[in-house]
A and B are shown apart, each in its own frame.
Chain A
């Protein structure tokens, strides 16, 4: 309960991130999301949130781009490469990455490479290509391992890019749908909205989004982690009980 209240208090004030010094602070961006918390229930199959906002004090829509990035909690990733040794495919080399998000979604008014130069994109982590780990553990060039990690995450829908998928309701009002698949992990996400003008970030806003289990799912998860012995015993008891019940039900008089 206290955690929930804290979370609500935190949500009440959208966190304004980096605002770069700009001589004429003309463009500004204001954004919101359709829900601050995604609740995982027993029938959870993923979710869909709407990110919306408006560009204020805009002189013109020319040379202006909006990028919406949703970043999941960081994960530790291990990529292994298999090689054929004596006819058998064997894990022969591995690389470990830290500081990459477990979920990443990007929607933008056009492909990010046309919005800004690579250095600017890398600075803000805009675009799957421009995501770099904070720490690497590898004996060799980790490049192919990093590419492989991103390829796998794209395949399972945890990493996605949707260039051109931002709808403008009017000249300055925009919105976009962000799919959150069921495989996306629990934790704190960040919804970041960037306004680029002529390849420069002129305004940005970040809002937290929480993905968390509720009700029975949460209780079971907590029990498994906080009282593992009781949880394990409960599993064994349930298995034996069901085994016994079925044996009684199916008993045939002989």
Chain B
């Protein structure tokens, strides 16, 4: 059951890797997130070097996003103009992120900054989503109508554009900014950024939840594809055998996730995702504050 990974230069149990790919793919299809923020730490836990884990997870995110996006596309649930605007911001953000990554590494403490920003971000997003989805669930159970959509605070911004499928007429600046921020995070944390982009689209852009899934997936495909190529050419850290194993599991999981996600209501999906995000946040926080089993850690490099 062991298989040798040519770039990571270690042997892994392929059943475990395919299983992880399936599990994370399932979440990806269900919530419209790539799942990189879950898969990267899980791979590191199985003994894969973190550089390879970060770079190769991106392929898994590309594949499950592709699979999910096609399923959404058949449901006509993708707003392509919106995805294009966010992707444009995302590509600039990725370039910025790669530069910032190098800068942070020179300053040291990069691990800490990444972990702390994960905790803060996940904690905030999880809490907001949890509160909102619970309130909506309660309101619909009480028979009251869901609260009306508020007009966004950015209505006054220029460069307005009509997004017909999302029934929005808004400035392109907020989606560009969201794309940029997520692109930068993708390069720094090795994630697709869906778990940030989905709440941002729901709560900041006020896009309909059913449109958000497909649109965010298209944006994620673009960002992760470019980041994979950047990682392959600058760090030689993408392992194609590992990617194949992860992707094989991931695409199957993503399809199952889309099926189940389609049967749930929007606020139920958001409640589940809030719980997943908070669980990951708690896990990361625990790693930061718990006494490590050995305060010394070792990194090996070929000379």
Contact = CB atoms under 8 A, between A and B. Distances in A.
Interface of A: 40-46, 73-84, 87-91, 94, 98, 102, 144-145, 148-149, 151-153, 182-183, 185-187, 213, 216-218, 220-221, 224-225, 228-229, 231-236, 238-240, 242-247, 250-251, 254
B59 A224 contact: no
Contacts of A41: 4
A243 B64 contact: yes
A59 B52 CA distance: 55
A243 B65 contact: yes
A48 to B, nearest CB: 15
Given A75-B302, A79-B298, A89-B291, A217 B6 contact: yes
Contacts of A89: 288-292, 295
Classify chain B's interface size. 35 or more
Interface in B214-231: 221, 225, 228-231
B209 interface: no
B70 A243 contact: yes
Interface in B253-303: 254-255, 288-292, 294-303
A238 B303 contact: no
B233 A235 contact: no
Nearest 6 A/B pairs, CB to CB: A243-B66, A232-B232, A148-B296, A246-B251, A247-B70, A239-B63
Contacts of B173: none
Contacts of B142: none
B241 interface: yes
B243 A229 contact: no
B34 to A, nearest CB: 11
Contacts of A148: 294, 296, 298
A135 B267 CA distance: 59
B149 to A, nearest CB: 29
A91 B109 contact: yes
A239 B243 contact: yes
A221 B9 CA distance: 9
6 contacts: A89-B292, A145-B296, A238-B59, A243-B64, A247-B70, A250-B71
Contact of B255 (A43, A183, A186, A250): A250
B40 interface: no
A245 B251 contact: yes
A243 B236 contact: no
Contact of B240 (A46, A231, A250): A231
Contacts of A246: 67, 251-252, 254-255
B112 A88 contact: yes
Contact of B296 (A152, A217, A250): A152
B7 A236 contact: no
A238 B240 CA distance: 9
Contacts of B2: 43-45, 182
B66 A78 contact: no
Residue from B62, B292, B294, B300 with most neighbouring chain A CB atoms (10 Å): B300
Contacts of B299: 77-80
Contacts of B64: 243
Chain A CB within 10 A, most for which of B63, B221, B247, B303: B63
Contacts of B238: 224, 231-232, 235
B300 A224 contact: no
A87 B289 contact: yes
A74 B303 contact: yes
Most B CB within 10 A of own CB, among A43, A91, A186, A247:
A247
B108 interface: yes
Contacts of A151: 294, 296
B4 A43 contact: yes
B109 A46 contact: no
B121 interface: no
Given A77-B299, A220-B240, A250-B255, A239 B59 contact: yes
Contacts of B240: 220, 224, 231, 234-235, 238
Nearest to B119: A88
Contact of A220 (B225, B241, B254, B303): B241
B229 A233 contact: yes
Given A78-B301, A148-B298, A224-B232, 7 more contacts: A182-B2, A228-B236, A232-B231, A234-B240, A235-B228, A239-B243, A254-B74
Determine which residue in B2, B251, B292 has the highest number of CB atoms from chain A within 10 A of its CB, and name it: B251
Contacts of B236: 224-225, 228
Contacts of B232: 224, 228-229, 231-232, 235
Contacts of B71: 247, 250
Nearest to A220: B6
